[in-house]
A and B are shown apart, each in its own frame.
Chain A
Amino acid sequence: MSINRREFLKIAGISLLGFGGASAVKKHLMGDNWVEASEVLRSPDALTAQQWAMVVDVRKITTMNDYKKIVEACHSIHNVPDFRNPKDEIKWIWKDTFEHTFPTSGHPYMEEGIEEKPFLLLCNHCENPPCVRVCPTKATFKSKDGITMVDFHRCIGCRFCMAACPYGARSFNWRDPRPFIKKTNPEFPTRTKGVVEKCNFCAERLAKGLEPACVEASNGAMVFGDLKDPDSEVRRILRTHYTIVRKPELGTRPSVYYVIGG
């Protein structure tokens, strides 16, 4: 049996349609959208806000033990490694001097002792975060609750965000952090070499209805709440105390406020 060009093309076309149709039907039956159909929810216990914010009352954090307790609370539950080398240091919450914390706010005649006093620093979860704008993979993004989140799954380790963050809140994993974690918390992942990490305002705790670990360990020196809720504790303190933020002139609108004196 001979076949001419015209017939060959006809058969080829029909077969192709057949294959295409079959795979479409198969896709439908196998349910490619199956996962999408099931539902995901927020837990009813979860704490929610429009913009989470924190007030750090530095007057209430006095002894070195206070600092240690707060930093330890955070770093232990989040599996933050200690490389014992400032060059590789990973920090979610840490302390630094007045000069480094508020570089444009100092003057030579400040209240005694304030220059030596350490200040607790963490990611400011800015309302206008420069790190989010520069992230090429959208690994860093602003969550619905105003948390500046890092999706470690997507981070490619380009460190643009580290260059963009004016607060030094981000750390890069130059090495595998696992051997340097004192005691791993099995409930939380570690990170891997080549990703950037920082404070996440304890998003995983908020989802369970718990306040951030540092707030819990601070004995009232740190207060957490919704910045957009006029009745929140954070707003009450902001109303009644004079508070400052780090580098306000940059327009990033930090959500971590400091009560300094008074």
Chain B
Amino acid sequence: MYDGSKIIAGLIVFVGLFTFPFLYNMGKASAKPEPKIDTPVIQQLAEKKCVEPKSFMRAEHMKLLNEWRDSAIRKAKRVYVGAEGKEYTISLQNTCMKCHSNKKKFCDECHNYMAVKPYCWDCHLEPKEKKL
């Protein structure tokens, strides 16, 4: 092999650089996100239920919110009938966040963990939270 030493040295450097981020972060997994729903409004609810079942909201809330915004703004239909027949006003600020007034613990907890940056809050006002 011509220039074997150089190639091998280069390979070692490459493997070192390539695996550095993985090795560096090994064993340092960030804490599992634990979104909280312990807001005063939710505590007072007799039945702690969102507009749709928890499993659905967990997986599909972003789709639901997209549907909501199109429905409210583009179709002027601002009442949502949930799976159980209960009616809700379609509004992020005035419905979702009235219960989930803890944006930091409810929204950001998972979004930060997943490194997703929804731009809802560029315009929509987040509820005022007490400094933790």
User: Are the chains A and B members of one assembly?
Assistant: yes
Stretch binding the partner chain, chosen from B10-18, B27-35, B62-70, B102-110: B62-70
Q: How far is the CB of A207 from chain B (nearest CB, A)?
A: 5
A40 to B128, CA, bound (A): 29
Label chain A's interface by main secondary structure: loop
- B99 CB → nearest A CB, Å: 15
Q: Number of B residues whose C-beta is below 8 Å from A? A: 32
Chain B residues with CB under 8 A of A149 = 73-74
**Is A190 touching B125 in the complex (CB atoms < 8 A)?**
yes
B123 within 8 A of A: yes
Are the C-beta atoms of B123 and A186 separated by less than 8 Å?
no
Tell me whether A35 and B81 are in contact (CB under 8 A). Answer: no
Q: With A189-B93, A189-B123, A189-B124 in contact, is A38–B80 under 8 Å at CB? A: yes
Whether A174 sits at the interface, judged by CB under 8 Å, is no
Interface residue B122 (Cβ < 8 Å from any Cβ of A): yes
Please report the C-alpha to C-alpha distance between residue A220 and residue B74 in the assembled complex, in whole angstroms: 30
Residues of A within 8 A of B69 (CB): 153
**Known A-B contacts A38-B81, A38-B83; A144 and B56 likewise in contact (beta carbons under 8 Å):** no
Query: Within the complex, which residue of A34, A41, A189 is in contact with B79, where a contact is CB–CB below 8 Å?
Result: A41
Name the contact of A40 in the complex, choosing from B60, B71, B94 (C-beta under 8 A).
B71
Name the B residues within 8 Å of A153 (CB-CB). 69, 73
Q: B residues within 8 Å of A by Cβ?
A: 52, 56, 59-60, 63-64, 67, 69, 71, 73-83, 87, 89-90, 93-94, 119, 122-125, 127-128
- Residues of chain A whose beta carbon lies under 8 Å from any beta carbon of chain B: 30, 34-36, 38-43, 46, 141, 143-145, 149, 151-153, 184, 186-192, 203, 207
For the complex with contacts A40-B80, A144-B76, 12 further pairs of A-B residues with Cβ separation under 8 Å are: A36-B67, A38-B52, A39-B80, A40-B67, A42-B76, A143-B76, A151-B74, A186-B128, A187-B94, A189-B125, A191-B123, A203-B76
Q: List 20 A-B contacts (CB under 8 A).
A: A34-B56, A34-B60, A38-B52, A38-B81, A40-B67, A40-B71, A40-B90, A43-B78, A143-B74, A144-B75, A144-B76, A145-B76, A151-B73, A151-B74, A188-B93, A189-B125, A192-B122, A192-B123, A203-B76, A207-B76
